[in-house]
Amino acid sequence: MPSFFKRSLLPKLRGFPLTPDAIGVLSGAAEFRRCLLEKISQATQRIYIVALYLQQDEAGQEIYDALHAAKAARPELDIVVVVDWLRAQRGLIGAGKQPGNSAWYQAMTQSHTSVVPVYGVPVQTRELFGVLHLKGFVIDDGVLYSGASLNNVYLHKFDKYRFDRYHLIDNKALADSMQHLVEHGLVASKAVHRLDLPNLPSTRSLRNDIGDLRSRLKHAAYDTSAGSVANGNLSVSPLLGVGKNNPLSRVICELIASAQHQLTICTPYFNLPLPVTREINRALARGVKIDIIVGDKTANDFYIPPSEPFKVIAALPYLYEISLRRFAKRHQSMIDSGQLNLHLWHDGDNTYHLKGMWVDQRYTLLTGNNLNPRAFRLDLENGLLIDDPKGEWLEPRHIELAEIFQHTSRIERYQQLQTLLEYPEAVGKFLRRVSRVRIERLLYRIL
């Protein structure tokens, strides 16, 4: 580990031992949905669902119905659903005034004899400044981990999908650790309330409790006492992070710093935090080959075709492309040499939501962290770091990467990316206005 990390976390991480066949990689969103429904129907002990949101649509209804059916068939099942408090109480962006998913949760509880509690976690008093972005479903002794939330597009219910990563890890100690954090670190908090019951308290009335929860989470961690420090064997380490200089963010930077030969990074929103950019530049300086895979702006989940009415949120994909173009321009010589490879993902009308890293032939990071300033400072994030010092899990790793690269194209010259002058008129007008009033930097910090 480079000496400039005075308090390095990576060598001290405790992990749970794994066998190579204990980590399964699912091939897509449709398989993820089938696997989730199958695991729910077969559960005998516990089901802990943690996601940004469980959406009221066909796929969300299918998951919710499956949870109620499992509870009705086996009343002893411990079932808990945890979502973001604020996200659950608003409608879809740009869809006008809507009651939000909480009204649906309450209707479901009223219409069923089985009880599936849905808890709302307020990470901040305003959604703009932080949300619950934890990932991972604990079902019995396994963890189904993905960056996906639960709705039609994330679960490929119909013709469109949002591409993510999907891993199934069979490890009781990991499942216990993740459940313990949800049960004792989140649900037990005075700031956390059931969204499926009526008469919800106002967010304003919870202000002090929310502050206390956020303060506690900054010092919280997954319980890895049943694990061990890296001992040369395959293992998985759960990581938690919220706020500036948190452990997950620090480990991400240390992983980049540890790369000696090959580094691959996925992010849907190209807006790298300064510490990440610095470590990438240092890695390039020491000769590391780097691949960065991002979504084409038309594969961004905020993209709105120019033929539709302009909304402010539609400017985001263009802001990310501007950031990517600047990065490519600064590093054009390394793109020319093949040391740096920037790849755009695009597959029809489908969208791209991948996050994570692959470091040399050893580390694989699964995470919902978008590798942007918001993830490094505002949202409550987690990740699973797979350490494979003997190369026992290389084949599934290579298969996953090959599938991700399938719909990508390499940027040969930064000029391939459009400029402000080439953007739709409404988008260009908005971006010029925010640039003039100097709020562009603020937008990059919170979006």
pLDDT of residue 7: 77
Binned at pLDDT 50, 70 and 90, residue 439 comes out as low
Residue 11 to residue 34: CA distance in whole angstroms: 37
* Predicted local confidence at residue 99, as pLDDT: 72
Residue 22 corresponds to which tokens in the numbers above? 């204990």
* 430: amino acid identity, one letter: F
Task: State the Cα angle at 130 between 128 and 131, rounded to 5°.
Answer: 105
Query: pLDDT digit string (tens) for 265-308?
Result: 999 999 999 999 999 999 999 999 999 999 999 999 999 999 99
The mean pLDDT of 381-394, rounded to a whole number, is: 98
Q: Which pLDDT band holds residue 6 (cuts at 50, 70, 90)?
A: low
pLDDT in tens, 317-356: 999 999 999 999 999 999 999 999 999 999 999 999 999 9
Q: State the catalytic residues.
A: 133, 164, 353, 381
CA–chain centroid gap for 246, Å, is 16
CATH number of the domain located at residue range(s) 234-446 in this protein: 3.30.870.10
Q: Spell out the domain ranges in the chain.
A: 19-218, 234-446
Residue type, 376: F
Would you say residue 437 has pLDDT above 80? no
> In the structure, what pLDDT confidence band is assigned to residue 92 with cuts at 50, 70 and 90?
low
Q: Which two tokens stand for residue 131?
A: 């949300």
> What share of the chain has pLDDT > 70, as a percent?
94
Of 336, 303, 334, the C-alpha closest to 320 is 303
CA atoms within 13 A on the CB side of 438: 0
* C-alpha to C-alpha distance for 282 and 364, rounded to whole angstroms: 20
User: Residue 269 half-sphere exposure, CB side, CA atoms within 13 Å?
Assistant: 22
Task: Assess if CATH 3.30.870.10 describes domain 19-218.
Answer: yes
Question: CB neighbours (10 Å) of residue 28?
Answer: 14
What is the arithmetic mean of pLDDT over 434-439?
Answer: 66
Q: What is the pLDDT of residue 445?
A: 63
Residues 6+ apart with CB under 8 A from 277: 327
* Of 151, 64, 49, 52, the residue nearest 106 (C-alpha): 64
**pLDDT for res 3:** 40
SS3 content of the chain, % helix, strand, coil (to 5): 40, 20, 40
Q: Is the pLDDT of residue 436 over 90?
A: no
Instruction: Tell me whether domains 19-218 and 234-446 share a fold.
Output: yes
Assign 433 a pLDDT band (cuts: 50, 70, 90): confident
What does the pLDDT read at residue 435? 74
Which of 86-100, 158-172, 250-264 is least confident? 86-100
> How is residue 11 written in tokens?
């060598």
Nearest partner of 372 among 225, 249, 290, 219, judged by Cα: 249
